[in-house]
Structure 1
């Protein structure tokens, strides 16, 4: 089974948007692009250390966490990989890892820098586990323990920032930032600064990422519409606008991504599956 999905334990659900297990072969190109999304990513890779570049300093570790970003994370996919991936909300990073999501912007980190030596123990226990269910249970237990050790951290993000995030996601990135600011009762400049500190992106950048995510979902659909229709439905001015944004955010053309990555992307119901630490 190449992928396994998991509903996180109840205490984690406000902070974990999705959880997946993966077992994938090497990519013939030797590279996997971790595309921008509205979720931060926590990956525990059980074979060789996961090598990531393109987001700040390169990192190679069994546990990797990546902040929100507006360019591709470049993952070494030259060897088969196996592990678990949790998609975290910006509030989840603060609550579970103890750092504001804004501090992780555009970077990938060795998870041990945030969680300490317990990461080594977790990797060993995950390797010894005999089922995906057992692996998910181990990761859930680790994160719930972290949540209990840091009570109250989830409340440190202003409700106006959370409301702005929800508006941008609900509108699929098409709501103007000035309108979002007005609806939450803040000025645009004040919202942009507080939003950036809390999430790592400005509201304008978040809107770009949400539009891009929507386009990606459409491209993964078996009934894939024409690019001109994707552009129109996702709020781009035209197909060339979509092409420019895709190259800027993904680091390659739509055609290159479909040709090189699509055979290794199987799940269209949630965040990008497997091997993406951001």
Structure 2
């Protein structure tokens, strides 16, 4: 699998946390699990319509956007894939997509349902791009054209979001509420309105991501140690959380997904591969 890293222009950086292009063969099991994370996910897939199930209504489209979620997206990977994926901060929903993150929570949507016919034009524009640099430039330009001044969440919400992730989900929600000077109930509601999830669910995802990072480390300790280091009660607790958030146990994920991830050839910077033409989809 080819993974092309990209750094978006400065005006987009408060809203776009990660950006990369990808080119992947068919997945050995035929299904790829899109795991919960702290980012909304924007995908423009050019080889064929992307088929996604597991998060609300099933979607089949060339461009999709997924909100923060507490369950996996099951992506049909029986065919080769070629496209771009941007990880957006929750603040990006109103700033770039014109709707609050809450409206995308726990679901993946056809980008056309969010942007209207402009989504079709974006897909066509990217499919016609002669290389990776042009693809990134055109997607960046489309997002910049939509960029509006967002309604900034309250400082208390921003601080709570920062602490949830800086602690890798190991902060107590009651302590979090006391720290920002709000009641637990008020914090949960304001946090959910801004991000789509409650602080409790955001903390679950932060712990899950910490465990995933350890599992990807070649020096990964035994699962029981991973559980303790990431704030789980014990290994069975870790396994239960993985079944809910990833749709499988850590062992199954390592067996089915890790070999594919390890076979990734990462290229830093779109400009360094501008002469690599995308596959012909027309």
TM-score (norm 2): 0.91
Return the alpha-carbon distance in structure 1 between the equivalents of residues 179 and 211 of structure 2: 26
Shift of residue 202, structure 1, vs aligned partner: 0.6
Q: 1:79 — aligned with what?
A: 79
TM-score (norm 1): 0.92
Q: How many residues are paired up?
A: 264
Runs of 5+ unmatched residues, structure 2: 267-282
Return the alpha-carbon distance in structure 2 between the equivalents of residues 190 and 210 of structure 1: 21
Q: 1:87-106 residue pairs with structure 2 within 5 A?
A: 87-106=87-106
Runs of 5+ unmatched residues, structure 1: 270-278
Shift of residue 123, structure 1, vs aligned partner: 1.4
Return the alpha-carbon distance in structure 1 between the equivalents of residues 50 and 234 of structure 2: 37
Q: What are the Cα deviations for residues 229-262 of structure 1, in whole angstroms up to 9, with x where unaligned? A: 2111111111111111111111111111111111
Q: Secondary structure at the match of 1:265?
A: helix
Asked if 2 retains the 8 angstrom alpha-carbon contact of 1:174 and 1:235, the reply is yes
Q: 2:166 — aligned with what?
A: 170
Q: 1:153 — aligned with what?
A: 150
In structure 2, which of residues 228, 232, 236 is the aligned counterpart of residue 232 of structure 1? 228
Return the alpha-carbon distance in structure 1 between the equivalents of residues 182 and 87 of structure 2: 29
Q: 1:135-146 residue pairs with structure 2 within 5 A?
A: 135-146=135-146
Q: What are the Cα deviations for residues 152-180 of structure 1, in whole angstroms up to 9, with x where unaligned? A: 2242x222111110010001000101111
Give the root-mean-square deviation of aligned CA atoms. 1.4
Q: 1:50 — aligned with what?
A: 50
Q: 1:5 — aligned with what?
A: 5
Return the alpha-carbon distance in structure 2 between the equivalents of residues 63 and 119 of structure 1: 7
Asked if 2 retains the 8 angstrom alpha-carbon contact of 1:3 and 1:20, the reply is yes
Return the alpha-carbon distance in structure 1 between the equivalents of residues 205 and 129 of structure 2: 36
Q: 1:126 — aligned with what?
A: 126
